[in-house]
Amino acid sequence: MSIMSYQSIPAVIKDNAKKYAKKTAISYKKKGVYHSLTYDEFYDRVLLLARGLQKFGMTPGDKVAIFSENRLGWAVSDFAIQSAGGITVPIYATNTAKQAAYVINHSESRIVFCSTKVQYEKLYSIKEELPNVDLVVSFERFMGHRSFPVFTQYQLSEIDTPLSDEDRQQIEAQIAEITPGDLITIIYTSGTTGVPKGVLLTQRNIMINAEYGVDQLGMPQENMTTLSFLPLSHVLERTGGYYNTLMNGNHIAFAESPLTVMDNMLEVRPTSMVSVPRLFEKIYSRIHEGVSQMPPARQKIFHRAIEIGREYINKKYITNEPLGLLGLKYKLFDKLVFKKIRARFGGRLTYFLCGGAPLDKTICEFMWIIGLPVYNGYGLTETSPCVAISGAGKTRFDSVGIAIRETELKLEPDGELLVKGPQVMLGYYKNDEATLDSIQDGWFRTGDIAKIDEQGFVYIIDRKKELIVTAGGKNIAPQPIENELKLNQYISQAFVFGDRKPYLVAVITANMETLAVFARDEKISYKNNEELVQNPKIKELYANSIKELNKSYPPYKTIKFFAVVANDFSIEGGELTPTMKLKRKVILEKYKDVIEDLYAIKGNGKVAQPKL
């Protein structure tokens, strides 16, 4: 039965509770062990909480905030809010108290779910700024402050009081009242700049996006297990992982945290995952780091396997040429090399979905070579998110795919991509001016510079606002250069700058794990990481890498000077969004003195390293 034959996502879950009653719906880790709920158990938990919300006085159309990392409580709360006719307002778990207050107040949320005492204390610290919050509900039990009461989800659900037939009928009658045009959520853009805007998405926006995206992907969707680690506060994981999985009667397992993903993959043994490029960059880096420690003979086998694999995947998936003996060679190397690599990820993965930012072609090819295909997609919060996606037989390793059904694309003269389709948001909450700026004559302005080839494949170049215009008038997209820099095993993150300047410079964060190995091999002594990145041998290491990279670029796109810093960019440090995109204004301000020093250097144009 098609998803689009239903009125809403809660209506799908209601049917799935009968259709897949004893099938595992959700797994979550508690006290070091994974526990699971079947579809009928999960649905009953949803109805119990919806009953509690209605008893408290929640009415259809009310906004309810969820301030939490991914976990069972998030999912139960979200579906309970919807089942009671409400609108879910997610807040990133990494948000500060002030950031959370803005979302709660702007959305007019009267009820706030929070995961732990840490999140509760954030709310308590700003309780005077939350005059409209009537109820705080936690997913864990702890002592709250008398002046700021907190109830548990268990208490609100009255789990010890079973649902009566009347309770069930009343809530299911409310589910039946939900229409495709009703709001499902207000998602506040994390924003690389400026004040977050509340994106209004409907049931239909999400449902049509999930169904059309899966159709174009063309991969089997039966008996799948998805490991969820990207924030459910972000629309990519919300639609592509969480809703898509549960609407199709499959199994979703929540990772403990983004830091434990590799361990959780071995425990859960997922068949599919949704991710942003950062995970694949780390996989690529770690595998190559491991190879560099192997004996020369094994290194030679690995590199030969990659060489054969690259030829194999391009002939099989891109040019559709006969494979002949090449197919047999690939099978041999798959058994010798790639199968062992896949085992580190649970051994059952059939594919990844990648969004959030363009994935470097070299890394995408590598993932396909080792037998872990990455299907790139493209979209924004405002498009629910999918605009274009790759699929079986519709893949280019440097493309984000082809537009999904009922979606029109066009390019402005400056290359900005415009989108029209059923996945486009209603607008921004309480911000008509921003809505009118973004949606004109039904076309949503993405702010991304793109190109579209004759076959309809979309290629994202960079954010329009992030293009560098040098003093010489050259337009340069920094992201492709940054992505190439990150292929280096000694580089974790890279920020390229040069707007209205005579040349490009870069701030590079060191991959301290691999750099420490290099220092040990080179017998470099140091007291701390800051001292290590200033060592002349380390400076030379990075300078040589950048010189090599510069050879592939015209002079105006080469990096003339750079600085290496020991502290990585992070969400906590404010340099990255929750989906690992660079906050350029924050980085520029934070490293203002470093960048100014790079331009103060009087040199001959060769790559150099200033003192920090």
Tell how strand 251-254 and strand 225-228 pair up.
parallel
Q: What are 246's two structure tokens? A: 């549960």
Q: Which domain holds residue 560?
A: 467-600
pLDDT at 194: 66
3-class secondary structure for 391-402? ECCECCCCCCCE
Same structural domain, 418 and 396:
yes
- Report the C-alpha gap between 143 and 149 in whole angstroms: 9
pLDDT of residue 607: 55
Q: Which helix (H) or strand (E) holds 448?
A: strand 443-452
Judged against a pLDDT cut of 70, whether residue 608 lies above it is answered with no
What CATH number did the domain enclosing 434 receive? 3.40.50.12780
Reported as a pLDDT band with limits 50, 70 and 90, residue 4 is confident
Under the banding of pLDDT at 50, 70 and 90, the label for residue 195 is confident
Q: Which residue has the tokens 């690259």?
A: 310
User: What's the pLDDT at 579?
Assistant: 83
Is the pLDDT score of 610 beyond 70?
no
**314-342 mean pLDDT:** 97
Tokens of 300: 């030679």
Does a structural domain hold residue 609?
no
H helices present in 360-431, as ranges = 361-369
- 563 Rama class: left (phi>0) / alpha (psi -120 to 50) / beta: beta
Q: Give the percent of the chain with pLDDT over 70.
A: 97
**Closest of 471, 446, 440 to residue 461, by C-alpha:** 446
Q: Which residues contact 226 (CB under 8 A, 6 or more apart)?
A: 241, 245, 250, 251, 252, 253, 270, 271, 272, 273, 274
Instruction: Say yes or no: 89 and 121 in one domain.
Output: yes
Q: Do 201 and 126 fall into the same domain?
A: yes
Q: What is the pLDDT of residues 545-590, one digit of tens each?
A: 999 999 999 999 999 999 999 999 999 999 998 888 999 999 999 9
- The structural domain count of the chain equals 3
161 by Cβ neighbours in 10 Å (0-12 / 13-18 / 19+) ranks as: exposed
Answer yes or no: do 46 and 150 share one domain: yes
CB 27 within 8 A of CB 253: yes
The CA-atom distances, in angstroms, between 285 and each of 281, 291, 551 are 6, 10, 22
- pLDDT tens digits, 113-131: 999 999 999 999 999 999 9
**pLDDT of 612 higher than 70:** no
Residue 575 lies inside a defined structural domain of this protein: yes
Reported as a single tens digit per residue, the pLDDT across 197-235 is 999 999 999 999 999 999 999 988 889 999 999 999 999
| CB atoms near residue 155 (< 10 Å) | 14
Residue with tokens 């094994």: 298
**Which of 465, 491, 523 is a domain's end point?**
465
For residues 309 and 398, state if they share a domain.
yes
Residue 340 lies in a domain: yes
- 357-393 residue pLDDT tens: 889 999 999 999 999 999 999 999 999 999 999 998 8
With tokens 């997922």, the residue in question is 270
**Residues 419 and 542 reside in one and the same domain:** no
Handedness of CA 563, 568, 572, 578 (dihedral sign): positive
Other beta carbons within 10 Å of 367: 20
Q: Is residue 606 part of a domain?
A: no
Residue 83 has pLDDT above 70, yes or no: yes
Within-domain flag for 203: yes
Q: What is the mean pLDDT of residues 493-501?
A: 96
> Measuring CA to CA, how many Å separate 223 from each of 220, 248, 362?
9, 9, 31
- Residue 409 is encoded by which pair of tokens? 């694309």
Dump pLDDT digits (tens) for 287-314.
999 999 999 999 999 999 999 999 999 9
